[in-house]
Amino acid sequence: MEENTQTFHSGFVAIVGRPNVGKSTFLNYVIGQKVAIMSDVPQTTRNKIQGIYTTDQEQIVFIDTPGIHKAHNKLGDFMVQSAMSSLKEVDAVMFMVNANEARGAGDNYIIERLKKITDRPVYLVINKIDLVHPDELLPIVDSYKDAMDWTEVFPISALQGNNINELISTLSKQMPEGPKYYPDDQITDHPERFVVSELIREKVLQLTRQEVPHSVAVVIETMKSNDDGLVNIQATIIVDRSSQKGIVIGKGGKMLKEIGSRARVDIEHLLGSRVYLELWVKVSEGWRDKQGILQSFGYKK
């Protein structure tokens, strides 16, 4: 039931670019140093979380927006539509190109879309500088210069790591104050995590009736089994306002206790093991601002 007073910055960064420009290599480099949480993050097919970079002060969630890479087709409309809405909600966009290739039609296609659908800061990231002589780099930078109003241009090598720390620190500064959307430890250990958080959320909504809005979120901080089979779960219930925090905790903690014991019964049933559940309540307005984008990962209903 504590509130974290230290300011934390967090947000979403879309990485866009033609195939083979080095998006995955970049993420592997960045996430390889930190916490890798990828394949099992619950999500719909609309957007894909590619990696999450977390430190004590910030969290950057890198996402892929498939719609923007593709030309139109029947399904494409829907994809483009969702790419558009997520590009409106991200905190920054990284547009990645190859240092050893001239600007081409594929790049132009993405640039045109970006211009239309986002008012977010767009960083031009020129990757694979290890493949070109510094003299060859300038004409490439020049060829992109007027294509769009870039927030900043970063020549990098995702393979060798050149200039990546600078890029990450610039992106970090761009992130608004916000909550830690995803826990530090691996989600992949427990694919049930999402279901567990939904069971807790359901109890909050059932027991508080209309008093706590649907935007309430539950983050599973830890989920570990003991040797004797007991599963320890720590979860944070995130609400928008302190008045809602009071409702969720209840008089003398009565409501929170009830939420916990009801959720525990369901979780034990789900996991088939005994559960020790610890619940915390935190107020975070930032969470609500990102409701749309979180929804697209299946985090909200």
Judged by CB under 5 A, the stretch of 22-30, 74-82, 230-238, 287-295 that binds Mg ion is: 22-30
- Distance in angstroms (rounded) separating the CA atoms of residues 236 and 176: 21
C-beta of residue 38 within 8 angstroms of C-beta of residue 48: no
Residue nearest ligand GDP, Cβ-based: 22
- Total chain residues near ligand GDP (CB under 6 A): 15
Per CB under 5 A, 24 contacts Mg ion: yes
Closest CB to ligand GDP among residues 103, 241? 103
Residue 25: partners with Cβ closer than 8 Å, 6 or more residues away: 127, 158, 159
Cα→Cα distances 242→131, 213, 220, 252, Å? 54, 13, 20, 16
Question: DSSP letter at 227?
Answer: T
Q: How far is the CB of 22 from ligand GDP (least distance, A)?
A: 3
Which of the residues 133 through 162 are near ligand GDP (CB under 6 A)?
Answer: 157-159
Closest CB to Mg ion among residues 24, 291? 24
Place of tokens 């706590």: 212
Task: Choose among Mg ion, ligand GDP, none what residue 121 binds, the Cβ cut-off being 5 to 8 Å by kind.
Answer: none
| Type of residue found at 78 | F
Angle between helices 193-208 and 242-249 (to 10 degrees): 90
Per CB under 6 A, 131 contacts ligand GDP: yes
Q: How far is the CB of 105 from ligand GDP (least distance, A)?
A: 17
Task: Choose among Mg ion, ligand GDP, none what residue 113 binds, the Cβ cut-off being 5 to 8 Å by kind.
Answer: none
Per CB under 6 A, 22 contacts ligand GDP: yes
Closest CB to ligand GDP among residues 94, 237? 94
Which of the residues 23 through 42 are near ligand GDP (CB under 6 A)?
Answer: 23-25
Binding mask 63-102 for ligand GDP (x = CB under 6 A): ----------------------------------------
Closest CB to ligand GDP among residues 50, 174? 50
The 3-state DSSP class for residue 48 equals: strand
Per CB under 6 A, 128 contacts ligand GDP: yes
C-alpha closest to that of 141 among 157, 128, 125, 130 = 125
Residue 27 half-sphere exposure toward CB, CA atoms < 13 A: 21
Task: Choose among Mg ion, ligand GDP, none what residue 128 binds, the Cβ cut-off being 5 to 8 Å by kind.
Answer: ligand GDP
Task: Choose among Mg ion, ligand GDP, none what residue 25 binds, the Cβ cut-off being 5 to 8 Å by kind.
Answer: ligand GDP
Cα→Cα distances 102→26, 108, 131, 139, 144, Å? 20, 11, 13, 9, 9
- Distance in angstroms (rounded) separating the CA atoms of residues 111 and 117: 10
Q: Which residues bind Mg ion (CB under 5 A)?
A: 23-24
